[in-house]
Structure 1
Amino acid sequence: MATTTAGQSGLLNQIACIDTIDSDVLEHVRHEALTVPANWVVEYGRYQSGGWRTLSLFNSSGDPCDVRIGDCDPVPTTLLRQMPITERFLDSLGLRYMWVRLAWLEPNSFLWEHRDYAELEDVERHRLHLPLVTNSSAALVTGGARICLDAGRLWRLTPTNVHGACNLLGPGRLHMIMDCYSDEALSRVTDNAYLAPDDVTFLPEADPAELEQRVEEACKLITLGYDRAGEQHLLRMFYERSVPEGRLYELIAAAYESVGRDVDAQRWIDSKTILLGGERAEVMQ
């Protein structure tokens, strides 16, 4: 579906390109990220299909395996100390970091529909993404649109809006993710935010009949004992269609209710609260 000027303008508050990184710097940062020995950490399993792993470059402890982010005065991790060009690049931006991570998303992997920062201090902050390795099937979905984040361009995401990410075909997607507190330096970096028409594909709205059919198919999978496949059959619609916020979690719960599994139905009602906002909402992607 083609983008519209009004729709594209509305997305700017959620996702936008803010700069282009020098190609030589990008190549060196990419090389360091791909070659420094590291044990990638699987975290936030409830929020993903599997295949999403992270390491920290700045955090509260200096341990790169400490990846569950929170408010802090961050210090460089031992991993970043092995990446001198990356450390100089981060310093050169002059930003007030909260946390900085490397994030790897394997082929055929998904970060489910969610929002972030709900449990953190009520201060303004933004998330910057620098794609280091990507492909045309890797995308971020927010505001009913799919956006391919090109490598070498710096992107600003406001993750308090509902969003998700996918890597459908591969190869693996590698991003540097910088959570930053708002200040004059961040404002200067983000002043020239834009979205090019080719960056955005608006998703068609989900048809009620299509949703009903997907629920029936999910129920068949669940009845056969393929619970995870049934859940993902619905969850993946977030990357194909524009669906009202949280509707897919409700449909998974309805699928379980229809086969008499009320405990599992309640688990997905609880998941909707956790992933989309509530007392125990957690931060990720």
Structure 2
Amino acid sequence: MKNSISTFISAKKSGEKLTMLTAYDYSTAKLIDECNVNGILVGDSLGMVCLGYKDTLSVTMDDMLHHTKAVVRGTKNALVVGDMPFMSYQASLYDAVTNAGRFIQEAGAQAIKLEGGAVVCPQIKAIVNAQIPVMGHLGLTPQSVNMFGGFKVQGKNITDAQKLIEDAKKIEAAGAFAIVLECIPSKLANIISSNITIPTIGIGAGGGCDGQILVYQDMLNMFSDFKPKFVKNFANVGDLMRDGFKLYVKEVNEGTFPAKEHCFKIDDEILNKLY
């Protein structure tokens, strides 16, 4: 059955854990979708893991729509969430609603995600009023990396911790159907999760969240620029890929690939007529 925002809300009520992964292309989305994952986030993390940027700030709406379209084409069962990039929603409510609508109308996503707390609640309300489901995002919000002074754990003092709790409540009141909690202490994430009725999706926020999300290149050991503490390698796909690439180079150099079984035939009679 196709996952929807109702699936997420129902899972919270029943205590069933939710699973999400990122995807940025058709082939990967198709593989993930075959594995009973509840949701696929087309994250602006593509700026780092696909496009080679140092952060997510350079990702554009055109980038996001291009990759979201590909993921949607490869997905039948998972809820596809498009990640609104930097400056696609901050400047005005008009920008927020218009760009959120492009994810739905042009790319085929079923929901959008945006970063921030109380300050973006007007945008959340406006987008939800336009009948577009919204997923919030609190804690380490990568688009605010310059304000944070780097990729750092959030909510470690009383003021910041209290603000995260209040922000989560305000995001829920604004109409979001779920909230990503990134890089916050697990006990704080537990408190947030128990104080709201919408599901929390953790990434570096402990097992008390209602669900989890990881960047697929991280969990498959395909991205080696850095490894966040919260990432577990579930398979060493990166090593397998390197081994395969090296073997390909070796066999081409040796002349063992392509072999006879990889080649197409033509009648010698036809060849003789060429001379």
TM category (shorter chain) comes to: under 0.3
TM normalised by structure 1 equals 0.22
Q: Which structure has the higher relative contact order (CA within 8 Å, separation 6+)?
A: 1
Tell me which protein shows more helix as a share of its residues: 2
Tell me which protein shows more strand as a share of its residues: 1
